Structure 1
Amino acid sequence: MKAHRTPWWYYLIAIVCGLLGGALLAKYDEATGLALIGVPWFISLLLLMLGLTVLVLALQVHKYATTDPRKRAELKPLDPQRAVSTLVLAKSLGLVGAALAGWYGGQILMCLEHAEAQYYAQAIVECAIACAVCVIDMIIGIVGEWLCQLPPMDGPESATMKEAARRQRNVAPAAAKTRQ
């Protein structure tokens, strides 16, 4: 399986789409009088816990992937499916964090003109906290994606492998001479 880093502009598109969606929701809320803006406090807490969980998983994958293969026997084996799932979680967390940060940011921008009203002031505070948590999640997703990358594998054509093969050829004749 070959996975590529998520391009930076995917995050930008997610933020802009979320910003437009949040702004449209706030306008709809204002026009209809429905109480749709804001976010419950426990949602921000759940998003933060999800981000921290993904970070811990990504750190475990990074530790296993960067450990010298000879010392890996000391570590608990890492299931490859778990490593791939952690990578997918990190990618998803980054993009969803960006989209939700835009969503809550759009609501904040549209509510600022009514900030003196208690309902809108409370919604702005709730959305600001949720937006900050989502930005943290986006950063954790980007860092987690980086942590899940494997170190480069040296193939037979790499300079390191060619040098090792050359040394091996030079050692073999010297070992044969010492036996005689």
Structure 2
Amino acid sequence: MRTIRPSWLVAVAVSVGVIGAGVTELTSRASLALPVLPLNSLVTMGLIAVVCLILGLKVRRWRDGKRDKVLDPLLAARTLVLAQACAYAGAMLFGWHGGILVDQLTTIALREDLGVIWQIIALLTGGAVMVVVGIVVERFCKLPPEDNEPSAKPRPKRESHGEEEFA
């Protein structure tokens, strides 16, 4: 399984941010409410991050040598997948609410109630926390190289396929 590439996380956040800003512009023109998640979604985001972190710590403890119990390899693989999903979901949430915030920056001076802006900032923070937890837990699941394995042998040079033979 490949590791998370930070450039992919940035690409996801930026592309979803552009979509979020566009949707916000459309909802504003239609006099609809901002497409922002409710604050109670922070509880769900926090629970996902905490569960991911707890499972990651269990894998890290086993990796670092505290092998009192056998670690189920399926649990370790699922923890890795959960960590990556947490990071990508956090990038999407961060991008979506970042796009909404960028679109609303011009209207901050006109607003009497800044509650929705603080709500957007709280959800941005929750998305960033999910990204960080996902990346950290993914690193917990990485096995160190074995000392008793032979070092990687250099690849043999490619043989020419008759190109010099005809010259």
Distance 1:126 1:55, change over 3 A: same
What residue ranges of structure 2 are gaps of 5+ in the alignment?
153-167
CA contact (8 A) 1:51 1:137 kept: yes
State the match for 1:157 in structure 2.
150
State the match for 2:14 in structure 1.
16
1:125 aligned to 111, 118, 122, which one? 118
State the match for 1:4 in structure 2.
2
State the match for 1:106 in structure 2.
99
State the match for 1:169 in structure 2.
none
TM-score by length of 1: 0.77
State the match for 1:57 in structure 2.
55
Give identity over the alignment, percent.
28
Q: What letter corresponds to residue 15 of structure 1 in structure 2?
A: A
- CA offset digits 1:32-68 (Å, max 9, x no partner): 112242221110121012111101110110111221x
Q: Larger % of helix: which?
A: 1
Residues 11-90 of structure 1: pairs in structure 2 closer than 5 A: 11-67=9-65, 72=67, 75-90=68-83
CA contact (8 A) 2:28 2:34 kept: no
CA contact (8 A) 1:87 1:144 kept: yes
Q: Distance in 1 between the 2:128 and 2:18 partners?
A: 17
Q: Distance in 1 between the 2:117 and 2:62 partners?
A: 42
Which structure has the bigger radius of gyration? 1
Q: Distance in 1 between the 2:84 and 2:12 partners?
A: 13
SS in 1 for 2:40: helix
Q: Distance in 1 between the 2:106 and 2:74 partners?
A: 49
Count of residues in Structure 1 that have an aligned counterpart in Structure 2 = 151
- CA offset digits 1:87-129 (Å, max 9, x no partner): 001011111111210110110111122223356x332211110
SS in 1 for 2:4: coil
Shift of 1:8: 1.7
SS in 1 for 2:78: helix
- CA offset digits 1:7-34 (Å, max 9, x no partner): 2211111111121121012101111112
SS in 2 for 1:41: coil
Q: What letter corresponds to residue 117 of structure 1 in structure 2?
A: R
List structure 1 runs of 4+ shifted beyond 4 angstroms: none
Shift of 1:155: 5.3
Q: Distance in 2 between the 1:86 and 1:60 partners?
A: 10
Distance 1:156 1:87, change over 3 A: closer
Q: Distance in 2 between the 1:124 and 1:153 partners?
A: 50
Distance 1:156 1:104, change over 3 A: closer
Q: Distance in 1 between the 2:36 and 2:147 partners?
A: 51
CA contact (8 A) 1:38 1:124 kept: no
